[in-house]
Amino acid sequence: MKTKPVSKKGIEIISLVTAIIIWQLIADFVIGNTFILPSFTDVVYAFITIIERGVLFTDLMISLLHFGIGIISALVIGIPIGVAMGWFHNADRVADPLIEIVRPIPPLAWIPFAIVWFGLTHISAGFVVFVGAVFPIIINTLTGFKSVSKVYVEAGKVLGCMKSTSLIRYIALPYSLPSIAAGIRIAMGVGWMCLVAAEMFGVSKNGLGYKIWWHYYLHQMDFVLVYMLILGFLGLLIDRVFRWYVDGKLLKWRKGVVV
């Protein structure tokens, strides 16, 4: 008798259930200490408690506000700088040394200045996110524009795009969109990590990252793990929404090789 093959979703569900069972068994029978490793049921109870307290929505909104401030600022500043550096040689010569000096500085090193400049405000947390997110956007935009073939530029001139603004709009920008989208996706991941660190180090008195540190001081590691998982799932959701929009709307012509 032939058995039906397990679907992809079935395999994923089995994998998750197996991981949860192993987690529960290790936490209860191997570790036996909720401070070192809370069990799955402990985390579920902690999540229910957070929901009942009504604080989760506030923390989510505040963290998303910090993230939005940083990412939007990085887009507004990073893309034009990358375009200028990729298209104009003089702009590249002027900006490249400055960017390469500042870029290796860890974003967390800017936390003292964020506090001094902006205080414990939403802008301060957004600034730390901006520092982490702006450089991937600049580098990928620059790379995309520098990879534009001269053949496309000459073809654009033949078709009437004689000014740099027209060539950028109709030739270079569409060609560079995949690279820019990849830079934005990387920037979102880096910015999300910087957001948590900024909130944990006191840049903000609210948010998911701040609550991780707060519950750690209270030795409530089950709540710490809840907020960690929320951060992971929320970051996954943001990435999937971004990919759905960019790949499905802006880059739907770029399907790649399907195996």
CATH class of the domain comprising 40-248: mainly alpha
| Confidence class for position 1, pLDDT limits 50, 70, 90 | very low
Q: pLDDT of 118-128, one tens digit each?
A: 888 889 999 99
pLDDT tens digits, 6-37:
566 678 788 888 888 998 899 888 888 888 88
- Looking at 119-172, list the stretches that DSSP marks H as alpha helix, in order from N- to C-terminal side: 122-146, 150-158, 164-167
| Cα–Cα nearest to 129, from 209, 227, 241 | 209
